[in-house]
Chains A and B, each alone.
Chain A
Amino acid sequence: MTDTRMTDPAANWMGQPWTPIAGDPALEFSDVSKTFQDGTRALDRTSFTVAPGEFVTVVGPSGCGKSTLLRIASGLERPTTGSITVDRSSLGYVFQDATLLQWRTVRKNVALFAELDKMPRADRERRVSENIELVGLNGFEDKYPKQLSGGMRMRASLARSLVMEPDLFLFDEPFGALDEITRERLNDELLGLFQRKGFGALFITHSIYEAVFLSTRVLVMSARPGRIVASFDVPFEYPRSHELRFDPDFAALSGEVSRALRGESA
């Protein structure tokens, strides 16, 4: 955490590929397996690490245990065997659906984690306002979730965790239910936040392009029982323009990831 990029994240991003920050990993899976009570084997001896400030994406076919991986990382599930190392006091979460509380306004929803963690009121209110603005929801503070579109709900969900300034974000297919245009826009925005805030991320998706576009490293998972079968470093420098999606190198890397995926699921 003494790395200068944590205090001045922008310094790291000027025209270089991402390089690891020294220090203990933000998240470490060692030989983690998970077998559910009905006998389903969701994960099989999975090992990987997420370095501080690293954006790691896991792609895999539906039902390959990606979500289980994330639930174990967050502490919602316990592994059957193996161990994980993570500082749970500094985690952010964005799930498949926005999981906003429908009786709370945007402002109150964004304040939820801070409220549950008993953050002092003045501090909380300031951070809530800042982060609502950061995700572009200013003007919608007093709306209820049912009045928002899917994309806006996701922004609120993101802001709710940003308030806590987490060191590591866990994303479980957060944009999977959105239309492509909204999804790309939110991808761009998420990268902006990643550069600005310097958090680490473990991002689950079934979209290869989303994975390659966002991350510093892509892990490919096989179908059940889920196992990490390939790992790709993504060399593209930050900031990444949305034009990157049409770059030949981008297409080539996406193709490699795709082949790795198909090789396993066939």
Chain B
Amino acid sequence: MSDATMSEIVDTAGDDLVEAPLVSHEERRKLEWISIVGPVVVFAAFVGLWYFMHHWGLRHLFDKPGHLMPPVHDILYDSFVRRVPQPDGSDYIARSDLIRALEWTAIVAFVGLAASIVLGIVLAVVMNRAAWLERTAWPYLIAMQAIPILAIVPILGSIFGYEPSTRILVCVMIALFPIVSNTLFGLQSVDRSQHDLFTLKGVSRMTRLFKLEFPAAMPAIFAGFRISAGLSVIGAVVGELFFRQGGRGIGIVMDKFRSRAQWTLTYGALLLTCLLGIAVFLLFSWISKRAIGKWHDSAHSS
């Protein structure tokens, strides 16, 4: 081939790059619009229903007093604004109690999640490497998943004491499985032809793991992180409901308010717990997008 045809080919190389997008521009804009408006409408409907239940629904439908679902503005005011004067002259501010409790819970959840991530990935890598280990460990991972965590928290507490480390253990038990199963799935779903490339080059196990299997598994691994992050927060809070001693997490504080029939504060604590869960989910979605969004389509945009 002459140089002229070569450069001609070079010039036209980009022609076949153009592909029609699967979703048209207009449709995508419509979807983006709905993804904002839709949730807002649902939120408004929910708040409306809440007020309805407070003023009328609870009393007439369930024969219960309306203050079991206090008005939303009361929840927000009591939990995050109000100062209650105390006999000794100081003010009681629920907000600072709640925030401190949330911090404590967040720390437990994060440590639990971090432990789950390290343990889960190591376990998945080992299981991926040795089929007999995978076959041996898998039934117990499923079994652990099937344990009603609520039922065994008091048992764990009796055995290990109501220490922070026991709370972290509860988090790990609840958050471990999605990380192991997603990582293992990711490691095992590498293309055979891509494996062939590395086989042809006669690379070491480590090179294959770090240059092929881990990068290929990243989307699945991050999906596991996102699921486990939420579960870890739940694990931390659920664990606390049984932990009357030790540091005061949001679960303990919530239970205290509930037992005193301080409904506005109970819901305030619940709201904060949800926000923590959402924040952790968003954080991992963001990390995931930063890490793999450029080459992987399904990195969540939210």
Q: Which residues of A contact B (CB under 8 A)?
A: 74-76, 91, 93, 95-97, 99, 101-104, 112-113, 115-117, 136-140, 144-152, 155, 182, 185, 188-189, 191-192, 195, 239
Q: Which residues of B contact A (CB under 8 A)?
A: 1-2, 5-6, 9-10, 12-14, 16-17, 19, 191, 193-194, 196-201, 203, 207, 211-212, 215-216, 218, 292, 294-297
With A76-B200, A97-B193, A147-B17 given, can you name 6 additional A-B contacts, CB distance below 8 Å? A101-B212, A116-B201, A116-B203, A116-B207, A144-B294, A149-B17
Contacts A/B (CB < 8 Å), 18 sampled: A75-B200, A91-B200, A95-B196, A104-B295, A136-B9, A137-B13, A139-B14, A144-B294, A146-B297, A149-B16, A149-B17, A149-B19, A182-B16, A185-B12, A188-B1, A191-B1, A192-B1, A195-B1
How far does the Cβ of B265 sit from chain A's closest Cβ, in whole Å? 48
Question: Are A138 and B10 within 8 A (Cβ)?
Answer: yes
Nearest-CB residue, chain B, relative to A96: B193
A189 to B1, CA, bound (A): 7
Chain A residues near B16: list those with CB within 8 A: 149-152, 182
Chain A residues near B19: list those with CB within 8 A: 149
Question: Are B199 and A152 within 8 A (Cβ)?
Answer: no
How far does the Cβ of A100 sit from chain B's closest Cβ, in whole Å? 9
Given A76-B196, A117-B201 in contact, is the A99-B9 Cβ separation under 8 Å? no
Question: Are B13 and A146 within 8 A (Cβ)?
Answer: no
CB contact between A101 and one of B12, B14, B194 (< 8 Å): that residue: B194
Q: Can you list the 9 inter-chain pairs with the closest CB atoms, starting with the nearest?
A: A192-B1, A136-B10, A149-B16, A136-B13, A116-B201, A144-B295, A103-B215, A99-B193, A103-B295
Given A152-B17, A188-B5, A195-B1 in contact, is the A116-B191 Cβ separation under 8 Å? no
Question: Are A103 and B197 within 8 A (Cβ)?
Answer: no
Chain B residues near A189: list those with CB within 8 A: 1, 6, 9
Q: Is the interface of B mostly helix, strand, loop or mixed?
A: helix
Question: Are B17 and A99 within 8 A (Cβ)?
Answer: no
Question: Are B10 and A113 within 8 A (Cβ)?
Answer: no
A152 to B12, CA, bound (A): 11
A185 to B207, CA, bound (A): 36
Nearest-CB residue, chain A, relative to B212: A101
Nearest-CB residue, chain A, relative to B201: A116
How far does the Cβ of A67 sit from chain B's closest Cβ, in whole Å? 11
CB contact between A148 and one of B17, B211, B216 (< 8 Å): that residue: B17
A95 to B193, CA, bound (A): 8
Nearest-CB residue, chain A, relative to B11: A136
How far does the Cβ of B296 sit from chain A's closest Cβ, in whole Å? 7
Nearest-CB residue, chain B, relative to A170: B200
Nearest-CB residue, chain B, relative to A97: B193
How far does the Cβ of A96 sit from chain B's closest Cβ, in whole Å? 8
How far does the Cβ of B216 sit from chain A's closest Cβ, in whole Å? 7
Question: Are A188 and B14 within 8 A (Cβ)?
Answer: no
Question: Are B197 and A192 within 8 A (Cβ)?
Answer: no
How far does the Cβ of B120 sit from chain A's closest Cβ, in whole Å? 21
CB contact between A146 and one of B193, B194, B207, B295 (< 8 Å): that residue: B295
Chain A residues near B295: list those with CB within 8 A: 102-104, 144-146
CB contact between B198 and one of A75, A91, A116, A138 (< 8 Å): that residue: A116
A145 to B297, CA, bound (A): 12
Chain A residues near B200: list those with CB within 8 A: 74-76, 91, 93
Chain B residues near A74: list those with CB within 8 A: 200
Nearest-CB residue, chain A, relative to B215: A103
Chain B residues near A91: list those with CB within 8 A: 200
Chain A residues near B297: list those with CB within 8 A: 146
Question: Are B216 and A103 within 8 A (Cβ)?
Answer: yes
Question: Are B1 and A99 within 8 A (Cβ)?
Answer: no
Question: Are A76 and B199 within 8 A (Cβ)?
Answer: yes
A96 to B14, CA, bound (A): 21
How far does the Cβ of A116 sit from chain B's closest Cβ, in whole Å? 4
A185 to B17, CA, bound (A): 15
Chain B residues near A191: list those with CB within 8 A: 1
Nearest-CB residue, chain B, relative to A89: B202
How far does the Cβ of B34 sit from chain A's closest Cβ, in whole Å? 26
How far does the Cβ of A26 sit from chain B's closest Cβ, in whole Å? 17
Nearest-CB residue, chain B, relative to A147: B17
How far does the Cβ of A162 sit from chain B's closest Cβ, in whole Å? 14
Nearest-CB residue, chain B, relative to A239: B1
How far does the Cβ of B292 sit from chain A's closest Cβ, in whole Å? 7
Nearest-CB residue, chain A, relative to B5: A188
Chain A residues near B292: list those with CB within 8 A: 103
Nearest-CB residue, chain B, relative to A194: B1
Nearest-CB residue, chain A, relative to B218: A103
Chain A residues near B199: list those with CB within 8 A: 76
A104 to B1, CA, bound (A): 31
